[in-house]
Amino acid sequence: MKTLIPEELLPLLQDLGEQVLEGTPFSQCVSRLCGQMTQRFGYPLVWVAIRESGGDISVYTQAADPGLNPDSSCLTDEERHCVDSVLNTQRTLHLQVERDRTGETPCRVGGRLYPAQLVIPLRTRDLVVGVLALYGAHRNTFDTSTIQWVEILARHVSIILSLAMVRKETAARIFHLAHHDPLTDLPNRILFADRLKQALARAKRYGRGVGVLFVDLDHFKTINDSLGHETGDALLKIVADRLVRCVRSTDTIARLSGDEFAMVLSDLAQGQDAGYVAQKVLNAVGRPAIVGDRTIPITASVGIALYPVDATEPDVLIAQADRAMYGAKKKGGQGYQFVSLEMNVQVPERLTLEKGRDSKR
């Protein structure tokens, strides 16, 4: 049987459809839907919870009540339980408060000060993409006929939002591909430059340092030519994984080209810290790598440029780190070199002293 759309719902669905077709960001589409529900039908609070592809829940809210500040990141425990229940059962959940012996109606459901709540699954075929939650100002706000038309609305909204979700995921995937290396999935040169600019802006604001490290594998061309590109690619993946383990989550590691990697070390208290990371990189990369039935020895050379000591502009820092890396290679590789001659003396001496103290303990 064909389900007719109530006439009062057509403008809302038309507006939502137009927003999606015009390419309006997904979050704005959903927030606008919630706003339309409060304005057209007088519900004091409306929110939509969407289950993202990774399983996380994103919440979008709109409140007509000026005294309520809807926080999209803070559902009550009761509301989270409602979301889980509806996502799992795929059935509408209707809550209303019970009258007490005095005839008074306590105004509280879902952890909010309202006497009625309706939570409807948003689904396409057998897939539940999220829930639509409405609150009523009266205990009997949601009678049988109201629940029926809201469920009709939810079915059509689900179809439109599923198209918006596909567009959103496609856009995110395109962005990821444009900003990441296809072999190692590390940030590429474009994203590296952007992260470096952000790190420098924060460092300037808070008076901190930034380190730019260039890492280049020694004799990689020989390995690639003699063992083949498949082996070379496998080796680059191993190196990328090892480099990620050398830094903090707030730092950035990128593959710029071939066997050339770069790092942004943000929020440095002192320049020597970049030297410690460089030594950590050399130790991690320098372990032999097993590719298939081969054990391949690897070494690397690292160049280090510091903000604001060596330069203050991103392009200059990158060029300085690259030059320092080639300086390390000229010395035989398997080492690191700062742009600053003073730092090249200070850091090795300090590392030697610390190793000496450690050996006496």
Distance CA 298, CA 282 (A): 10
Contacts of residue 246, Cβ cutoff 8 Å, sequence gap at least 6: 277, 280, 281, 284
Residue 235 parent element (H or E): helix 229-244
Rounded to whole angstroms, how far apart are CA atoms 63 and 67? 9
Residue 6 above 70 pLDDT?
no
Tens digit of each residue's pLDDT (9 = 90 or more) over 288-301: 999 989 999 999 99
Under 8 Å CB-to-CB from 344, ≥6 apart: which residues? 337, 338
Q: What is the CA radius of gyration of the chain?
A: 29
Please state the pTM of the whole predicted model. 0.66
pLDDT mean across residues, the chain: 84
Q: Where in the chain is the domain with CATH 3.30.70.270?
A: 189-360
CATH 3.30.70.2660 for the 7-177 domain, yes or no = no
- Check whether 349 has a pLDDT greater than 60: no
pLDDT digits (tens, 9 = 90+) for 129-163: 889 989 888 888 898 988 888 888 888 888 777 77
Share above pLDDT 90 across residues of the chain, in percent, rounded to a whole number: 45
pLDDT in tens, 13-39: 788 788 877 878 878 888 888 888 888
In the chain, the amino acid numbered 41 is F
Dist CA 92 CA 123 (whole Å): 11
**Quick one: pLDDT at residue 211?**
97
For the segment 226-255, the average pLDDT, to the nearest whole number, is 95
Superfamily covering domain 189-360: Reverse transcriptase/Diguanylate cyclase domain (3.30.70.270)
Query: Position of tokens 């020989």?
Result: 222
Cβ atoms within 10 Å of 310's Cβ, excluding its own: 20
Taking residues 265-284, report their average pLDDT.
94
> What is the pairing mode between strands 300-307 and 335-338?
parallel
Q: What is the pLDDT of residues 96-131, one digit of tens each?
A: 876 544 444 444 555 567 888 899 999 876 678 889
Question: What pLDDT, on a 0 to 100 scale, did the predictor assign at position 72?
Answer: 44
Could you read off the pLDDT of 243-270 as tens digits, one per residue?
999 999 999 999 999 999 999 999 998 9
User: 278 to each of 189, 328, 329, how far by Cα in Å?
Assistant: 20, 12, 14
Q: Are β-strands 57-63 and 93-96 bridged in parallel, bridged antiparallel, or unpaired?
A: unpaired
